[in-house]
Amino acid sequence: MLMDRMREALNTRHCSPRTEKAYCLWVRRYIRFHGMRHPAQMSEREINEFLTHLAVHDRVSVSTQTQALCALLFLYRYVLGYEIGDLGGVIRARKSRRLPVVMTRDEVRAVLAGLDDEYWLMAALMYGTGLRLMECLRVRVHDIDFSRKEITVRDGKGGKDRVTVLPDALVPALKRQLRHAKSVYQQDLDDGWGRVELPRALDRKYPNAAAEWGWQWVFPQQNRWNNEKAGAQGRHHAHETLVQRAVKRAVRQAGVAKRVSCHTFRHSFATHMLEDGYDIRTIQELLGHKSVSTTMVYTHVLNRGGLGVRSPIDRF
């Protein structure tokens, strides 16, 4: 089937599960838009019609339309073996420049105060290290180095590894969390399981690594997954929706009127680092941005009012 070939091509090129899910979704929408016609029977004209419909009728953002285009280019190039020609006639979504939502330090304290236990630590890590939500949830035991005060982010956005700071203030809570995770791991071992999913093909290269302590999740899921057909059990990391709901409740309880999400902690980390005098290149490295221009957006949201100038009315 076409979708099976699409997934195989994505897996062969080491695309992330989220990329696979998004690309397959766009291919299905493309096929449905054209009345269930097979993509091999369509080409540039049909792609133009679909992308234009997204921009004009659905009013999607630039990034959404670009993702749809990338999915279709991938389909034709790597699955159908056809190179797409000029798409100059497509109507592109209007690009808008939006500043990230950033909390003040008091707002961060208020939101964190409304979180308990693991959720507090997850949110504190995102704010204290600049981790994305999924990067935080996917931290494994061996990614934490207490002696060097650093956390290694494996296979982050764009398939890149990086190192970020481990805050001193979070060390005690993180050590408590590791003790909890180890007790969960030990119980799984006693029950005859204790294996986690490994990246890429490491489970074949190192057959016993999945049951080693260093590969376990720092934030394990509450319940083991169960494959009744294969007769196997394992444990994923905590699910992102649970953290998102907890943060949403805490924001509401704190009375913060801004549109705060888990990613807002990352934005706040970068902005507050700039306020503290750290240079933009250092923050770029900690965030894992490919270009410093991406990091530069935080210079526009510094809590200094306007462009850092003093209003004449303040001199009255």
| Residues contacting residue 120 through CB under 8 Å, at least 6 positions apart | 112, 173
Known catalytic residue: 38? no
Dihedral class, residue 216 (left if φ above 0, else alpha if ψ from -120 to 50, else beta): beta
Given 182, 236, 249, 263, which residue is catalytic? 263
Q: Which of 23, 76, 119, 298 is catalytic?
A: 298
With beta carbons less than 8 A apart as the criterion, state whether 49 and 35 touch: no
Can 266 be counted among the known catalytic residues?
Answer: yes
Q: How many Å apart are CA 116 and CA 247, to the nearest integer?
A: 10
Identify the three-state secondary structure at position 114. Answer: coil
Burial class of residue 52, CB neighbours in 10 A (0-12, 13-18, 19+): middle
* 298 belongs to the catalytic site: yes
The catalytic position among 132, 140, 195, 267 is 132
Q: Which of 101, 116, 125, 126 is nearest to 260 (CA)?
A: 101
Catalytic position from the list 157, 162, 180, 182: 157
> Does the active-site annotation cover 263?
yes
List 138, 235, 237, 266, catalytic entry: 266
CA distance 159 to 134: 13
Catalytic residues: 132, 157, 263, 266, 289, 298
